[in-house]
């Protein structure tokens, strides 16, 4: 019997702040990106956010004009960071679109919008590996097919500057090492699955196989909670949940130095060969 596993992690970020971590890094003042056309504006963050919003609205009305949201709110997040020269770097992109139909029509266009942004002047840049990521959050409505997308005010969409993300750590993984921390985390998760995996005998005898998606929250104390699974059969889902139940207490993820709840997901593929 052979058992093959494929694990993919997905992260979702929310906002949270403190002043300084144990390594003496000052999270505040936050990193600021100064858009060339916003130099004379009093609120340069709002100016940047409004300029990008205009680009998004133009894109939505051009490529997703047939979509009707009704009473639903379309949530869009553009997450990006810059290199040492203030030029947008695609390796920091973390874009999301809440509406499936809109996402299908324009998901690839958002990267193009970000890549066309001009070179920024960067204030309060943080030292490596604590690279700041900037999240621009927007909310839109569109009640009829002929209507245009309308931006709406949402307190959760406030933008104040760059945020420093620290991925949750598996015990034994190094502290913040830029993009290397998720790699170590994923490797330890894969090893954990291999060490605890047992193909359910009833499923094996019946030829039941397939992929089980596992979703859970790593809470502020590093404890796994709200475990959910989705797969082709309850026997496979039960095994996936059993494997997750043996995960150790993790080192929680942080935003600007403060522990936060961190959604995480990965699949396990059950395959009989």
Report pLDDT digits (tens) over 128-150.
Answer: 778 899 999 999 999 999 999 99
Q: Is pLDDT above 90 for 206? A: yes
What is the CA angle 231-243-262, rounded to 5? 80
pLDDT of residue 49: 98
pLDDT of residue 178: 54
What does the pLDDT average to over 251-262? 94
pLDDT of residue 20: 56
What does the pLDDT average to over 61-70? 95
Instruction: Quote the pTM value.
Output: 0.81
Q: Which residue in this structure is represented by tokens 């553009």?
A: 78
Mean pLDDT of the chain: 90
Regarding the domain delimited by 180-270, which CATH topology (the fold level of the hierarchy) does it fall under? Answer: 3.30.1150
CB of 215 within 8 A of CB of 228?
Answer: yes
Q: Which residue in this structure is represented by tokens 């009305």?
A: 61
Q: Is pLDDT above 70 for 181? A: no
Q: Which residue in this structure is represented by tokens 């959760």?
A: 156
Give 14's pLDDT tier (boundaries 50, 70, 90).
very low
Find the radius of gyration of the CA atoms of the chain: 21
Q: Is pLDDT above 90 for 18? A: no
Give 228's pLDDT tier (boundaries 50, 70, 90).
very high
């Amino acid at each position: 019997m052979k058992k093959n596993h494929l694990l993919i992690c997905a992260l979702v970020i929310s906002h949270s702040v403190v002043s300084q971590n144990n390594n003496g890094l000052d999270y505040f003042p936050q990193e600021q990106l100064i858009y060339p056309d916003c130099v004379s504006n009093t609120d340069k963050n709002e100016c940047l956010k409004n300029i990008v919003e205009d680009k998004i609205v133009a894109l939505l009305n051009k490529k997703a004009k047939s979509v009707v949201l009704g009473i639903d709110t379309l949530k869009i997040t553009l997450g990006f960071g810059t290199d040492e020269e203030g030029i947008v770097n695609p390796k920091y992109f973390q874009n999301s679109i809440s509406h499936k139909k809109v996402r299908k029509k324009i998901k690839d266009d958002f990267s193009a919008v970000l890549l066309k942004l001009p070179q920024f002047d960067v204030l309060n840049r943080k030292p490596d590996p604590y690279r700041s990521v900037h999240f621009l959050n927007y909310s839109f409505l569109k009640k009829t097919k002929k209507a245009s997308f309308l931006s709406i005010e949402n307190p959760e969409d406030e933008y104040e500057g760059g945020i420093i993300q620290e991925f949750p750590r598996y015990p034994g993984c190094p502290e913040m090492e830029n993009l290397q921390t998720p790699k170590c985390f994923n490797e330890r998760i894969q090893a954990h699955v291999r060490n605890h995996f047992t193909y359910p005998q009833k499923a094996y005898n019946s030829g039941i196989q397939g992929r089980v998606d596992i979703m859970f929250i790593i809470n502020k104390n590093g404890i796994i909670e709200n475990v959910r699974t989705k797969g082709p059969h309850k026997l496979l889902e039960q095994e996936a949940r059993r494997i997750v139940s043996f995960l150790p207490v993790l080192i929680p993820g942080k935003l600007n130095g403060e522990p936060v709840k961190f959604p995480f997901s990965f699949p396990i593929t059950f395959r009989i060969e």
